[in-house]
Amino acid sequence: MNEPRTVPEQESENRAAVAEDHSCVSSRPRPDMKNSVAESRKRKREEYEMQLFGFHSRAVYATLKSIVMESIQSKSKKLCQTLKNHKPYSENLDTLKMNEEQLVKAYYVASLPHLRNMKDVVNKFITVPNNVLADEDKLQRIQYTKVEFVNMSKKLEEFQQRAKRATVLNAALKEELQLTEQYLIHADNNDRLTQIIENGVAEIKMAHPNVRNKIHQLIKNYKQFSLYLNDKTSISQKSLYNMIDDLKCIDYDMSTL
């Protein structure tokens, strides 16, 4: 039969268990990329659980762990209070308080295996199967190989280039449309001016039936006058100061001009 352990031996074992637990925690490697991916997947599963159940496994485990810790603290406090009532510890209240804290730590260390089993059970029963997808993730049902992914990337790049060319073509067509609209406006104005001129010519013809012949005669006279002015023959001093002798006059009816 095992001998009963003394309080100092039990406290030393509790300290060793707590130290071992903390050493296990501190000796764990820092989260690397693999741990980050695992944590991301866990967060994703928790999102699915929240959408389907309204709660997730981490919250359930935290609640159960909190209940266990509250029970441990409550029982330890009641035990210390019973000892205080049974035998006054007026001079050793600090020692009793320290023993209470050590007792809570010892209970916590003893409950760690049960807490781990409880966590595994929670994760087992509160989980969403991998084949269940949320509405925004239903496209993940279709899986593609690497070759298919490369081909789809090439097609996507081709579509992007075609979209860019279509954008440039659309801008050019808009500019061409603006020019066409401006041309139509100018063509309409030209038609109006042409109509005004034709109406004016018709009115002039009606008012002056022989105006065409008079215009031809005026043009002919203008040409003769221009030839006379552009004549480069030398002019004598006599002719220069007595131009009336060399002036060739033509009789014109001024009323007909």
With a CB cutoff of 8 Å and minimum separation 6, the contacts of 256 are 214
Asked whether the beta carbons of 150 and 96 are under 8 A apart, the reply is: no
As a whole-number percent, the residues of the chain with pLDDT over 90 amount to 18
Asked whether the beta carbons of 189 and 232 are under 8 A apart, the reply is: no
Confidence of residue 2 (pLDDT cuts 50, 70, 90): very low
8-17, 48-57, 107-116: segment of lowest average pLDDT: 8-17
What is the model's pLDDT at position 17? 47
Place of tokens 């001093």: 237
Answer whether residue 86 shows pLDDT above 90.
no
27-31, 212-216, 236-240: segment of lowest average pLDDT: 27-31
Asked whether the beta carbons of 21 and 112 are under 8 A apart, the reply is: yes
3-class secondary-structure state, position 127: coil
DSSP annotation string for 73-85: HHHHHHHHHHHHH
Q: pTM, whole model, 2 decimals?
A: 0.39
pLDDT digits (tens, 9 = 90+) for 113-155: 999 998 898 888 887 776 666 666 666 667 778 888 899 999 9
CA distance 84 to 100: 12
Confidence of residue 221 (pLDDT cuts 50, 70, 90): confident
34-43, 151-160, 181-190: segment of lowest average pLDDT: 34-43
Would you say how long the chain is, in residues?
257
What is the model's pLDDT at position 218? 81
What is the model's pLDDT at position 238? 59
Answer whether residue 249 shows pLDDT above 60.
no
CA distance 166 to 159: 10
| Four-CA torsion 133, 139, 142, 145, nearest 10 degrees | -120
Cα 183–Cα 188–Cα 193 angle in degrees, nearest 5: 120
Which residue type sits at 241? Y
CA distance 50 to 47: 5
What is the model's pLDDT at position 42? 79
What is the model's pLDDT at position 213? 73
